[in-house]
Structure 1
Amino acid sequence: MKRIKLTLAYDGTNFCGWQLQPRLRTVQGVLEKAIIRVTGTPVRVHGSGRTDSGVHALGQVAHFDVDESFAAVNWQRALNSLLPDDVTVLNVELVSSEFHSRYSAIRKTYTYTLWLENSFFLPWRRHYVWKCGPLDFSALDQGMQLFLGEHDFSSFQNTGTVIKSTIRTIHDFKRYPGQTEQEMILEVCGSGFLKQMVRNMVGCLVRIGRGKAEPETVRSLLQIKDRTMAPATAPAQGLCMAGVYYGETGCGGTDTGRNQAQNSGIDG
């Protein structure tokens, strides 16, 4: 058997998330159906993470195993000819059987796009941004910095997934301009993320940016370790899995993700 690594981009608007679910349209589901049309036999695809319904990707990584006879297939061309137009294969690699898209990952980067204008809204951006209105950038920056480092993120984890530890490390958290003048992108790189952790961090930061909480709220919530005390979860459509990194010491690749985000229709 040979292991194939895929790098994917998708518009999550019309998907019920990544994970295979009976009778529901998912990214994993349509991808497996496309692969079966090539191999003629069922193939299980493993993703680096489970994006929720409405969440997008510019750098989702997945892998699957096929018989050696299919190793020479031009998988990018084959799959892109079979997949729907809201998901595409960006890159294909033949990798070692020891590689695992999820367990081999060292760091991940997500972006979240905010719409900062109250007086108008561009309708075609509605599936890719959170219309949150003007924010205090200074307060926002202070709050972002308090997330850096290793912490117990219990206050920023939604229920639904059994895990061994809620401790994660945030390596970088920054903001930069979005696709339009009215948008701003938050980019966070970490060792890994809990269920809806990025959306919960963004929800907290927006509350701070609106002046409804102090930046020190971040420190307090990290210490309290109680999700019920934290602000509401940010909407799904603003979130995008920007990149997954393997065997790297830094958050390398985020510049590429940033350029893609600023020039893509699915930057949120």
Structure 2
Amino acid sequence: MKRIKITVAYDGTDFCGWQLQSGVRTVQGELEGAIARITGSPVRAHGSGRTDSGVHALGQVVHFDVDARRASVPWQQALNSLLPDDITVLDCEHVSDEFHSRFSALRKSYTYSLWLNNSFFLPWRRRFVWKCGPLDLDALDRGMAFFQGEHDFASFQNTGTTVSSTVRTIFEFSRQSGETEHEILLRVCGSGFLKQMVRNMIGCLVEIGRGKAEPDSVRSLLQMKDRTLAPATAPAQGLCLEGVYYGENGCGGPDAGRQQPDTQGGLNSEVRPA
């Protein structure tokens, strides 16, 4: 058997998330269906992590094993010829049997897009931003700073997944220009993320930006370790899995686990990551 690693981008709007589920459309299901058409038999595609319904990806990393006779297939071209328009394979390579898309990952990064203008809204951005309205960006920046470092993120984990520890490390949390002048992009890179942790952090930061909470409330929420005390979860459509990293040089370093795609007019195109 030979192991193939692919990097995948998708518009998550019309998917019920990454994970295979009976009777609904998922990213994993579409990929496995396309792979099976090439191999002639079922093949399990292992993702670097799950994305929820409506969440997008620019750098989801996937691996799967095929018979050695299939190793020479031009997998990127072959899969893209079979996949629907809302999924595309950006990169493909052979890797050792020791590589695992999930367990070998050292860091992941996500972006979240916020629309700040209440006067109008560009219709084609509705799938990719949260129309949250004007925010105090200085207060938002101060709130972001409290998330950086190693913390217990129990207050920012939604129920539904059992984990051995809720301690995670945030290496970077930054604000950047968005795809239009009416947006901002929040980028977060960490050692890993709990269930809906990024969306919960964004929900908290928007409350701070709206003046409904103080920036240092982040520190208090982290210390209390109680999800019921934290603000509501941000909507799914603003979130994008930007990248997964397997080298030692951190987010965006030369050993990153995916290539930087040049996208236009849909998913976040400015940066190249919960």
The answer for the alignment partner of 1:185 in structure 2 is 185
Secondary structure of the 2:91 match is: strand
Query: Displacement, 1:266?
Result: 1.5
Unaligned runs of 5+ in 1: none
Secondary structure of the 2:102 match is: coil
Kindly indicate whether the alpha-carbon contact (under 8 Å) linking 1:107 and 1:191 is maintained by their aligned counterparts in 2: yes
Kindly indicate whether the alpha-carbon contact (under 8 Å) linking 1:60 and 1:244 is maintained by their aligned counterparts in 2: yes
Query: Displacement, 1:124?
Result: 1.1
The answer for the alignment partner of 2:58 in structure 1 is 58
Query: Displacement, 1:148?
Result: 0.5
Q: Percent identity?
A: 73
Q: Does 1:75 align with 2:75?
A: yes
Give the distance between the partners of 1:267 and 1:16, measured in 2 at CA.
20
Output one character per residue of 1:68-114: Cα deviation in whole Å (capped at 9) or x when no partner: 00110000000000000000000001000000000000000000000
The answer for the alignment partner of 2:234 in structure 1 is 234
Query: Displacement, 1:248?
Result: 2.1
Closer/same/farther in 2, CA of residues 262 and 79 from structure 1, 3 Å limit: closer
The answer for the alignment partner of 1:98 in structure 2 is 98
Secondary structure of the 1:114 match is: strand
The answer for the alignment partner of 1:202 in structure 2 is 202
Paired residues, number: 268
Closer/same/farther in 2, CA of residues 31 and 7 from structure 1, 3 Å limit: same
Give the distance between the partners of 1:84 and 1:189, measured in 2 at CA.
29
Secondary structure of the 1:237 match is: helix
Query: Displacement, 1:262?
Result: 7.5
Secondary structure of the 1:234 match is: coil
The answer for the alignment partner of 1:265 in structure 2 is 266
Moved more, 245-254 or 94-103: 245-254
The answer for the alignment partner of 1:125 in structure 2 is 125
The answer for the alignment partner of 1:223 in structure 2 is 223
Query: Displacement, 1:267?
Result: 1.9
1:267 partner letter: N
The answer for the alignment partner of 1:29 in structure 2 is 29
Closer/same/farther in 2, CA of residues 262 and 80 from structure 1, 3 Å limit: closer
Kindly indicate whether the alpha-carbon contact (under 8 Å) linking 2:36 and 2:42 is maintained by their aligned counterparts in 1: yes
1:149 partner letter: G
Q: Does 1:154 align with 2:154?
A: yes
Secondary structure of the 1:169 match is: strand
Kindly indicate whether the alpha-carbon contact (under 8 Å) linking 1:115 and 1:133 is maintained by their aligned counterparts in 2: yes
Give the distance between the partners of 2:221 and 2:263, measured in 1 at CA.
32
Give the distance between the partners of 1:55 and 1:265, measured in 2 at CA.
13
Give the distance between the partners of 1:267 and 1:252, measured in 2 at CA.
15
Unaligned runs of 5+ in 2: 270-274
TM-score using structure 1 length:
0.96
Closer/same/farther in 2, CA of residues 33 and 262 from structure 1, 3 Å limit: closer
1:73 partner letter: V
Query: Displacement, 1:247?
Result: 2.3
Give the distance between the partners of 2:14 and 2:83, measured in 1 at CA.
14
Kindly indicate whether the alpha-carbon contact (under 8 Å) linking 1:261 and 1:267 is maintained by their aligned counterparts in 2: no
Give the distance between the partners of 1:143 and 1:267, measured in 2 at CA.
23
Kindly indicate whether the alpha-carbon contact (under 8 Å) linking 2:39 and 2:70 is maintained by their aligned counterparts in 1: yes
Kindly indicate whether the alpha-carbon contact (under 8 Å) linking 1:243 and 1:253 is maintained by their aligned counterparts in 2: no
Give the distance between the partners of 1:221 and 1:79, measured in 2 at CA.
45
Query: Displacement, 1:263?
Result: 4.1
The answer for the alignment partner of 2:272 in structure 1 is none
Give the distance between the partners of 1:64 and 1:143, measured in 2 at CA.
40
CA RMSD of aligned residues (A): 1.9
1:206 partner letter: V
TM-score using structure 2 length:
0.94
Secondary structure of the 2:249 match is: coil
Kindly indicate whether the alpha-carbon contact (under 8 Å) linking 1:260 and 1:267 is maintained by their aligned counterparts in 2: no
Query: Displacement, 1:139?
Result: 0.4
Closer/same/farther in 2, CA of residues 262 and 113 from structure 1, 3 Å limit: farther
Kindly indicate whether the alpha-carbon contact (under 8 Å) linking 1:118 and 1:133 is maintained by their aligned counterparts in 2: yes
Query: Displacement, 1:264?
Result: 4.4
Give the distance between the partners of 2:226 and 2:115, measured in 1 at CA.
29
1:265 partner letter: G
Closer/same/farther in 2, CA of residues 118 and 261 from structure 1, 3 Å limit: farther
Greater share of helix residues, 1 or 2? 1
